[in-house]
Copies of this chain bind each other. A is one copy, B any other.
Amino acid sequence: MDFPTWMAAVQARTEAALERYLPPATAAPARLHAAMRYATLGGGKRVRPLLCHAAGALFDTPPADFDAPACAVELIHAYSLVHDDLPCMDDDVLRRGKPTCHVEYDEATALLVGDALQTLAFQVLAEHGGTAAMIALLAQASGSRGMAGGQAIDLAAVGKTLSVEELEFMHIHKTGALIRAAVLLGAHVGGADDKALIDLGHFAGRVGLLFQVVDDILDAEAPTATLGKTAGKDAAQNKPTYVSLLGLADAKRKAADLRGEAKAALAYFGERALRLQQLTDYIVDRRF
C-alpha cells in the first residue's frame, strides 16, 4: 500500500470510529451532541491518529486495535481547539474552513462541547481496551503539566519576547505532549518493549517540535483559504513563533534538522518504521 492510500485509509477509519464513539445528534441533549459532532467530524488532517496508527504499524497488531487510542487523542485535540478558539482565549472565528464552534452555536455550548469531548476521550479509551496506565499517559499529556499547561504558558507569552528555548518549552507542552501520547499509546497497544518506548519517545519529541515549526512557517506563508484557519494571526497578535524568532530561512533549516533527528530515532526499527518515516516527511512537506 503506498503512503497516500494508507493515510486515506487511516483517516477514513478514524472518521468512522469517531462517528461511532460520538453520541448521535438525535440523543438528548441534542444541541450539545450536534455541536460535539460539528466540532469533531469532517475536518482536520488527523495527524495524531495517523501517528498512533503509524506507531502501531511497527507491531503485528490489527489496525482496529488502534482506533480507540487514536480517537481518544483526537478527541482531546478537538476539545482543545474548541476552547482555544473561545473569545477569552484566541477569539477565532474560522477553523478547518468553517465557523468556529462558538460562532456556529454559542459560547456556553462551545464551553460544554470542549468539556464533554475531553470526557469522551477518557471514556472511549476506558471502554475499548485502554489500561489504567494508558489512561494515565493520556491524562499526563493533556493536563496542566502537558497540553493545558502549554496553553497557559502560551497565554502568558503574548506580547513578550521569548528565547527559542522558552518557545520550545511552551511547544513541548502545548502540542508536543499530545503528539508524544499518540505515538506512545500506539506503541503500548502494540506491546512495545522498553527500548522501543524510549526510542519512540525520542522520535515523538522531535516530531512534536517539527510539527510546530512547520505550523509557524505555514501560518507565516499560506493564505487563509489554504490554511483553513485565519492566517498571519500569530504575528498579528504579537505571539512569538519560530519564524518571528529565527526568520523564515532558519525556521526551514530547523525543520530540516528536526526531520533528520526524528528519522534517526527510528533506526532500531528498520523497515518496520516505514509509516512513521513517511508520516514525518508528510508533516514537513504538506504545504511547502
Instruction: Report how far A145 CA is from B123 CA in the complex, Å.
Output: 12
CA distance A173 to B145 in the complex (A): 30
In the complex, the answer to whether B120 meets A29 with C-beta atoms within 8 Å is no
Q: With both chains docked as a complex, state the minimum distance between the C-beta of A208 and any C-beta of chain B, in angstroms.
A: 18
Q: Smallest CB-CB separation from A139: which chain B residue?
A: B123
Does A119 reach chain B (CB closer than 8 Å)?
Answer: yes
A232 interface hit (Cβ, 8 Å): no
Query: Contacting A135 at CB < 8 Å: which of B122, B129, B152?
Result: B122
- Minimum CB–CB distance from A244 to chain B (whole Å) comes to 21
Taken together, the copies of this chain in the complex come to: 2
Bound complex: CA of A86 vs CA of B110, how far in Å?
13
Query: Binary interface profile of A, 133-159, with partner B (CB < 8 Å = 1, else 0)?
Result: 101100110111100110111011000
Q: Is the CB of B116 within 8 A of A89?
A: no
Bound Cα distance from A86 to B102, whole angstroms:
15
User: Could you tell me if B119 and A153 are in contact, using CB atoms closer than 8 angstroms?
Assistant: no
Complex: chain B residue closest to A158, CB-CB = B108
Chain B residue nearest in CB terms to A148? B116
Given contacts A136-B123, A144-B120, A153-B28, contact A115 B23 (CB under 8 A): no
Partner pick for A152 among B109, B120, B140, B144, CB 8 A cutoff? B109
Docked CA distance A29–B123 (Å): 27
Chain A interface size range: 35 or more
**A interface, by DSSP: helix, strand, loop or mixed?**
helix
Which residues of chain B are within 8 angstroms of A136 by Cβ–Cβ distance? Answer: 123, 126-127
- A126-B136, A136-B126, A145-B27 known; A152+B32 contact, CB < 8 A: yes
A242–B120 CA distance with the chains assembled, in angstroms: 31
A151 and B27 within 8 A (CB): no
Do B108 and A126 have beta carbons less than 8 Å apart?
Answer: no
Query: When A23-B145, A126-B132, A132-B135 are in contact, do A111 and B140 touch as well, CB less than 8 Å?
Result: no
Q: Chain B residues near A116 (CB, 8 Å)?
A: 143-144, 148-149
A280 at the interface (CB under 8 A from B): no
Q: Which residues between 13 and 30 of chain A lie within 8 Å of chain B, taking CB atoms?
A: 23, 27-29
A161 to B33, alpha carbons, bound, how many Å?
A: 23
Q: Which residue of B lies closest to A151 (CB)?
A: B112
Alpha-carbon distance between A106 and B153 when the two chains are bound, in angstroms: 14
A-B contact pairs, 11 of them (CB 8 A): A23-B145, A32-B152, A36-B144, A89-B108, A109-B152, A112-B152, A112-B155, A115-B115, A116-B148, A126-B135, A126-B136
